[in-house]
Structure 1
């Protein structure tokens, strides 16, 4: 336990944060303040740079045995802080958002093929109960608690904590975990539980998201009208 805490928890997290800060600061200066005009990428408004920055931060951090996904997050935050009000930040954000949507659509297509070919056959009642608890209880509760000190009102907090596709990241985490440990459960059952959770979220939130947002917008309009009167 001691070695795990020092290596996998302390060192790898610290390495991810430090690498993210250093790479983010370096890229930020390069994008916005480089003396060479061709290296001031902010002036070229090229969003594809975000993908290169992601690979750079992840790769360098993994080379020193740090957590690459932490470094990517810290790098993005650090680059944005270098020139917080610069329009290039919106270009990078827009590109990443479009890429995320395309990747999510592709991943859901593969997941649909997995389900159609019998991927949910190993699912048990216990696994289905776990999926229901994750979508309906655990994730909404954790999302609501994380926003207690945020600027959103009570209704907004409920909407934010309830909606959004659940479990997409779990597909990657499960693939990684199965390659490094044995959990005493057939891998097919674990994949079935994860796929069920994602599919349940897609169907449930796909049906209820629009009515819920329309209701929230209506409440906002009524509150605004009362304030004006």
Structure 2
């Protein structure tokens, strides 16, 4: 069995390296290829100990949670390093609208659908809305800022890519309070009250921001600021430092009751701000991108195997309807409404609203929540979550590249009002 696992790992590593080049400029993506391959593998009559639901994530909650958590941490560090747009209330205005308006509204609407169409209890329905809330910095590679060394037309000036990267970097952490609130309402002690909400839900976000700023400043100094070349990390050009950026802020934040995901993204943004144009950012990002490819290959292949091997047992068409409404209606409509009057403009607003890719964050929060407090209807949560991710990978994987390139070619990615991104772009739409 161990030999087989080594062989599969080798094939996955090879696929993670080769597939991005094979599917470049084609109307499908590496995640979509891996998902389809996984479904095909799951449908095969595999011999024991495989088959008969062996890949069901509900049977491996701790492992699934740890794997997804690792992938998120690496992707958050890479996403933060890619943010070239300086921090600011107006400069990040579109992202603030998505985080402050679209995300809570989407949780509420999906919770209503879960209660009404799926007959979930209100608390479990809220949990469904919460786990479907985060967008994915790993799977959104075609719509986010590609890397730290790209030109301003793909980074600072690009309203679509900057906004989606910032949103994906922050909403993985901002989802946590909603998940914890849903678990509390479902019956996990303590009972929610004002003091608990402040201390356990709100305060950790603030602590995460502070830890991220401190860790980012310290790591930025170690990379670029120290006078000694022996200790200046940028002089080593070693991508492994990305793991320090991903793990240290998270660990410190969690130890002091902070939000670790928020801390990692803030730390990476702070490191980028310390020395915005240094080539070492690309070294770190390239290393992280290689790890992300492997995580994507494993996660989507595993999800596909689970879908083909029995995860959909008990499936009801209304579950697919909910997944379709989430991807094709709820996020696009709520995102578009939140961006009305924003710097994004008409064309960019439509793209930003539509390309809210669902992915590993959903897998993590499902495993995280159900490992701590099993709730009734958890099989429904897994089916709807898996179907939503699969549909998002299918739709966004086919449409993302061609759509974004067309909008960028027409200039529709530029902000419409003076200088929200630090530079002024022409008006459009």
Using structure 1 for the length normalisation, give the TM-score. 0.84
For residue 298 of structure 2, what is the aligned residue in structure 1? Answer: 106
2:397 maps to 1:206: yes
Contact 2:331 2:356 (C-alpha < 8 Å) held by counterparts? no
Q: How many residues align?
A: 220
Counterparts in 2 of 1:34 and 1:149: CA distance versus 1, 3 Å: farther
Consecutive unaligned residues in structure 2, runs of 5 or more: 1-192, 413-429
Output the CA distance in 1 between the equivalents of 2:356 and 2:254.
29
Pick from 337, 343, 351: which aligns with 1:159?
Answer: 351
Pick from 180, 193, 215: which aligns with 1:23?
Answer: 215
Counterparts in 2 of 1:21 and 1:210: CA distance versus 1, 3 Å: closer
Alignment of 1:5-154 (within 5 A): 5-144=197-336, 152-154=344-346
Output the CA distance in 1 between the equivalents of 2:363 and 2:279.
34
Counterparts in 2 of 1:22 and 1:201: CA distance versus 1, 3 Å: same
Pick from 363, 370, 373: which aligns with 1:171?
Answer: 363
Contact 1:47 1:95 (C-alpha < 8 Å) held by counterparts? yes
Deviation per CA, 1:170-221: give whole Å up to 9, x if none.
0001111112334432x22211111111111122223333553465466459
Counterparts in 2 of 1:217 and 1:18: CA distance versus 1, 3 Å: closer
Q: Which segment drifts farther, 36-45 or 160-169?
A: 160-169
Deviation per CA, 1:105-141: give whole Å up to 9, x if none.
2210110111110111233233222211210122223
Output the CA distance in 2 between the equivalents of 1:19 and 1:209.
34
Output the CA distance in 1 between the equivalents of 2:237 and 2:342.
32
Displacement of 1:79: 1.0
Contact 2:249 2:263 (C-alpha < 8 Å) held by counterparts? yes
Contact 2:336 2:353 (C-alpha < 8 Å) held by counterparts? yes
Contact 1:120 1:195 (C-alpha < 8 Å) held by counterparts? no
Output the CA distance in 2 between the equivalents of 1:63 and 1:197.
33
Contact 2:208 2:263 (C-alpha < 8 Å) held by counterparts? yes
Output the CA distance in 2 between the equivalents of 1:132 and 1:99.
30
Contact 1:28 1:79 (C-alpha < 8 Å) held by counterparts? yes
Partner of 2:230, secondary structure, is helix
Please give the root-mean-square deviation of Cα atoms over the aligned residues, in Å.
Answer: 2.5
Q: Which segment drifts farther, 166-175 or 207-216?
A: 207-216
Contact 1:123 1:193 (C-alpha < 8 Å) held by counterparts? no
Counterparts in 2 of 1:111 and 1:161: CA distance versus 1, 3 Å: same
Displacement of 1:68: 0.6
Consecutive unaligned residues in structure 1, runs of 5 or more: 222-229
Contact 1:50 1:95 (C-alpha < 8 Å) held by counterparts? yes
For residue 224 of structure 1, what is the aligned residue in structure 2? Answer: none
Partner of 1:123, secondary structure, is coil
Contact 1:20 1:71 (C-alpha < 8 Å) held by counterparts? yes
Using structure 2 for the length normalisation, give the TM-score. 0.47
Output the CA distance in 2 between the equivalents of 1:97 and 1:157.
27
